[in-house]
Amino acid sequence: MNPEISVIVPLFDEGPNVAPLAREIFAALREESRGIELILVDDASADDTWPQMLRMQEEDGRVRALRHGSRGGQSAALWTGFKASRGNIIATLDGDGQNDPADLPKMLAKLEDFDLVCGVRLKRKDNFVRRISSRIARGARRAVLSVDFPDTGCNLRVFKRFVLETVLAFDGFHRFLPILAMAGGAKALGMPVTHRPRTAGQTKYGVWNRLGRGICDLVMVKWYLKRKIKSIPVVENALPPA
For residue 216, name the pLDDT band (cuts at 50, 70, 90): confident
For residue 140, name the pLDDT band (cuts at 50, 70, 90): low
Strand order in the sheet with 89-92: 63-67, 36-42, 5-11, 89-92, 157-160, 116-121, 188-193
Q: Which residue segments constitute the domains of the chain, with CATH numbers given?
A: 5-227 (3.90.550.10)
With beta carbons less than 8 A apart as the criterion, state whether 188 and 149 touch. yes
Q: Which of 26-35, 140-149, 163-172 has the highest mean pLDDT?
A: 26-35
Distance of alpha carbon 114 from alpha carbon 165, whole angstroms: 16
pLDDT in tens, 165-177: 988 888 888 888 9
Tell me, what's the pLDDT at 21?
Answer: 97
- Least Cα distance to 156 among 61, 57, 21, 30 occurs for 21
Query: Comparing 55-64, 138-147, 170-179, 197-206, which segment has the lowest mean pLDDT?
Result: 138-147
pLDDT in tens, 178-204: 988 988 899 999 999 998 887 776 665
Judged against a pLDDT cut of 60, whether residue 240 lies above it is answered with yes
Judged against a pLDDT cut of 60, whether residue 129 lies above it is answered with no
Give mean pLDDT, residues 123-149: 58
Q: Global pTM? A: 0.82
